[in-house]
């Protein structure tokens, strides 16, 4: 029996993405984006295989967004009553210390997700609003899939910050890691493509989108990841600083007279590539580099330097490295990033094949030379499909 389609919802604070897809065939029946939630103007885009429609209308809150979502299906199809949704899968950013697996959402689970809001003030409240609104409109099982879940089993030494133990315990301060659904999916896809059981592979995965993270995956289990208590830690990102000396917070507060909230905004929204060169889109940065723009090149160099530090550290942590995988917008599309990330590492077993690396493709592919001891791959991520499959598995 084929599985009924799953509606996957990703509720952000000012936008909501959705996709209706079949978990077994990965066929996408419809997808959409509702933007500028809570602002005087809103935009709703709905896409089916035959057409894309866009409407401008205010979307006051997530309740309105879910009403708009239903209307899009009623007006432009597919007919939700006819397709018979099997479940709604919700992406939830922070699962805290207790959610290590997807879970069917009831009132108690929703209250727990809400209680984790201090750990993810930008993300979890939006997910809670989206879940509440969706439960009121879709009378099917709702499943929460957590971005942190794949990293729930990190070894203690990896997930522990060297700060006062009692303080950390009281406030649940530890490394949680994010993008876990993507890292897990990509690790399985890569193993499948190679025809090797994931249990036999040690890999470093780079999820390089606007947000960016690295993971070390040993025999299918994550043993390190670059994001921390929040998604601010780790690699240089589009607008986030990644790793900095934590004293910069105090220093900026004392010397630049910035409030904690302002510093938070600087580090999350005005740093990373954007802070360094004014742009955070790698297409623009690559173009600027091609035109000898010094600031863009300098930003790129900082980005690559950090990325290579993580590659080296994770390879040593794994002890044996079989595979390096690049995914997400930058990882899948920027041959320049992949080339420079692996340049000069032949002595460590990484031999990129330039001719394999250069072409653009939406398919999984090997980009290392045949004789390279470490395989290098590009594997497109698909978080919606991963969420749909997890939701479907749970509701049977
Ligand atoms: P997120 O989900 O974090 O918003 P994505 O995984 O969609 O991010 O990646 C978005 C980023 O991918 C863009 O900001 C852009 O920098 C990069 N990107 C997309 N297409 C290309 C391309 N053709 N070449 C280089 N970078 C690209």
User: What pLDDT score was predicted for residue 3?
Assistant: 75
Under the banding of pLDDT at 50, 70 and 90, the label for residue 180 is: very high
Residue 46: phi and psi, rounded to 5, are -130, 130
User: Ligand 1 center to residue 350 CA distance, Å?
Assistant: 24
User: What pLDDT score was predicted for residue 215?
Assistant: 99
User: What pLDDT score was predicted for residue 241?
Assistant: 98
Note whether 379 and 184 are within 8 A (CB). Answer: no
User: What pLDDT score was predicted for residue 13?
Assistant: 84
User: What pLDDT score was predicted for residue 122?
Assistant: 83
Q: What is the pLDDT of residues 310-360, one digit of tens each?
A: 999 999 999 999 999 999 999 999 999 999 999 999 999 999 999 999 999
Q: Which long-range contacts (CB under 8 A, 24 or more apart) does 270-276 make?
A: 270/239, 271/239, 271/240, 271/241, 272/236, 272/237, 272/238, 272/239, 272/240, 272/241, 272/242, 273/236, 273/237, 273/238, 273/239, 273/299, 273/300, 273/303, 274/238, 274/239, 275/239, 275/241, 276/302
DSSP state of 200: G
Ligand 1 nearest atom to the CA of residue 282, by list position: 16
Nearest to 231 by CA among 385, 121, 315, 145: 121
Nearest to 225 by CA among 174, 266, 188: 174
Q: CB of 42 closer than 6 A to ligand 1?
A: no
Nearest to 237 by CA among 269, 283, 205: 269
User: What pLDDT score was predicted for residue 61?
Assistant: 93
User: What pLDDT score was predicted for residue 262?
Assistant: 97
Instruction: For ligand 1, atom 7, name the residue with the nearest CA.
Output: 329
Q: d(Cα 176, Cα 152) in Å, to the nearest integer?
A: 7
User: What pLDDT score was predicted for residue 396?
Assistant: 82
Q: How much is the mean pLDDT over the chain?
A: 96
Return the structure tokens found at 159: 């997930």
Q: CB of 333 closer than 6 A to ligand 1?
A: yes
Q: CB of 350 closer than 6 A to ligand 1?
A: no
Ligand 1 nearest atom to the CA of residue 281, by list position: 16
What percentage of residues in the chain have a pLDDT greater than 90? Answer: 96
Active site residue ranges: 147
Q: Does residue 387 sit in helix, strand or coil?
A: helix
Q: d(Cα 135, Cα 66) in Å, to the nearest integer?
A: 10
User: Ligand 1 center to residue 208 CA distance, Å?
Assistant: 8
Best residue among 232, 234, 330, 357 to mutate for probing ligand 1's pocket (most ligand atoms within 8 Å of CB) is 330
User: Ligand 1 center to residue 328 CA distance, Å?
Assistant: 7
Asked if pLDDT for residue 1 goes beyond 60, the answer is no
User: Ligand 1 center to residue 319 CA distance, Å?
Assistant: 31
Residue 383: phi and psi, rounded to 5, are -65, -35
The vertex-217 CA angle with 213 and 223, nearest 5°, equals 85
Asked if pLDDT for residue 178 goes beyond 90, the answer is yes
Q: CB of 238 closer than 6 A to ligand 1?
A: yes
Q: d(Cα 237, Cα 279) in Å, to the nearest integer?
A: 11
For residues 209-223, give the mean pLDDT: 98
Q: What is the pLDDT of residues 67-84, one digit of tens each?
A: 999 999 999 999 999 999
Under the banding of pLDDT at 50, 70 and 90, the label for residue 127 is: very high
Asked if pLDDT for residue 2 goes beyond 80, the answer is no
Q: d(Cα 64, Cα 85) in Å, to the nearest integer?
A: 20
Number of CB atoms found within 10 A of residue 295's CB? 14
Q: CB of 283 closer than 6 A to ligand 1?
A: yes
């Amino acid at each position: 029996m084929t599985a009924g389609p799953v509606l996957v919802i990703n509720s952000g604070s000012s936008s909501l993405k959705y996709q209706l897809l079949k978990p077994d065939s990965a066929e996408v029946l419809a997808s959409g984006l509702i933007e500028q939630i809570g602002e005087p103007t809103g935009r709703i885009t709905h896409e089916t295989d035959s057409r894309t429609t866009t409407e401008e209308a205010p979307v006051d809150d997530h309740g309105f967004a879910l009403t708009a979502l239903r209307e899009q299906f009623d007006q432009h199809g597919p007919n939700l009553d006819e397709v018979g949704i099997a479940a709604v899968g919700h992406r939830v950013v922070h699962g805290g210390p207790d959610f290590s697996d997807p879970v069917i959402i009831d009132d108690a689970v929703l209250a727990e997700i809400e209680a984790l809001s201090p750990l993810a003030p930008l993300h979890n409240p939006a997910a809670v609003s989206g879940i509440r609104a969706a439960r009121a409109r879709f009378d099917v099982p709702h499943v929460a899939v957590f971005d942190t879940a794949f990293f729930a089993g990190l070894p203690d030494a990896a997930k522990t910050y060297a700060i006062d133990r009692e303080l950390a315990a009281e406030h649940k301060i530890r490394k949680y890691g994010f993008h876990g659904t993507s890292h897990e999916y990509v690790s399985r896809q890569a193993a499948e493509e190679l025809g090797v059981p994931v249990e036999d592979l040690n890999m470093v995965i780079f999820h390089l989108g606007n947000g960016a993270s690295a993971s070390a995956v040993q025999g299918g289990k994550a043993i390190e990841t670059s994001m921390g208590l929040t998604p601010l830690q780790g690699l240089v990102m589009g607008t986030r600083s990644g790793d900095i000396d934590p004293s910069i917070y105090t220093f900026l507060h004392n010397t630049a007279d910035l409030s904690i909230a302002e510093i938070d905004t600087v580090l999350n929204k005005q740093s990373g590539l954007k802070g360094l060169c004014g742009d955070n889109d790698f297409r623009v940065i690559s173009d600027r580099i091609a035109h000898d723009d010094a600031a863009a090149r300098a930003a790129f160099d900082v980005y690559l330097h950090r990325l290579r530090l993580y590659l080296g550290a994770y390879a040593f942590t794994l002890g044996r490295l079989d595979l390096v995988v690049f995914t997400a917008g930058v990882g899948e599309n920027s041959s320049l990033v992949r080339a420079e990330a692996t340049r000069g590492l032949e002595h460590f077993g990484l031999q990129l094949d330039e001719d394999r690396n250069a072409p653009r493709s939406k398919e999984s592919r090997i980009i290392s030379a045949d004789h390279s001891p470490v395989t290098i791959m590009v594997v497109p991520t698909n978080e919606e499909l991963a969420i749909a499959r997890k939701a479907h598995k749970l509701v049977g």
